[in-house]
Amino acid sequence: MRVLDAVRAATAGLPRPRVVAVEWLDPLWPAGHWLPEQITAAGGEPLIASPGEHTRPMDWETVRAARQNVLLLLPCGFAPERTLTELGLLTALPGWDELPAVRAGRVWVLDGPAHFNRPGPRVVRGTEVLAHVLHGVRSGAPVSASEASRCPGPEARATTRPGSARVGARGLTAPRLRGAAGSGPMSVRARRGPRRAGCASGRRACGRRG
């Protein structure tokens, strides 16, 4: 396709960052199927999952051992604002702040439902978004903050209450989501939606967007 050829041309010859894409937070689940191909076309080196792979849950040590330069968070069925409310599931894990991607400020929340979770024409736009995330390269329309936003660093998280998320002026602000009767923030596991096929990981249990 001409759009993908343009992305490949825009990123040709640039250093290829090592990339881990996560499509579910609890349990941790790497994004497979077409996601590794999107990463490769955008000038990155996909880790953990291979093109076309129907993935399985992974443990946290697998993520730590990957020594990724870039970490992409794109939970199936979750809008970016909803993903941001769940960052504590990752930031509380041992060694989070020592991940190369975290130390470099290269952890990104992406709009999975729009461009990554399901097959179709919109995955082409997702590859353009990845070119911006991985290399700061523009290919196609400018990438909006709703499509890709950096995660807050340790300093921002220190002033963010559990169940809420804030990012700087270039990012997103997410509302606090609460459980039944205002009992506190709902976990990802508790808010899973109906089972459906079609995620990049091959998972059948996805969250509902919005």
Tell me, what's the pLDDT at 52?
87
Q: What is the pTM of this model?
A: 0.77
Instruction: Decide if pLDDT at 177 tops 50.
Output: no
CA angle 118, 83, 107 (to 5 degrees): 95
Question: pLDDT-derived band of residue 29, with 50, 70 and 90 as boundaries?
Answer: very high
Q: Are strands 70-73 and 107-110 parallel, antiparallel or unpaired?
A: parallel
Q: What is the pLDDT of residues 5-22, one digit of tens each?
A: 999 999 999 999 999 999
Q: What is the pLDDT of residues 54-109, one digit of tens each?
A: 889 999 999 999 999 999 999 999 999 999 999 999 999 999 999 999 999 999 99
Tell me, what's the pLDDT at 1?
72
Q: What is the pLDDT of residues 119-158, one digit of tens each?
A: 888 999 999 999 999 999 999 999 999 999 999 776 545 5
Which residue did the predictor score with more confidence, 47 or 55? Answer: 47
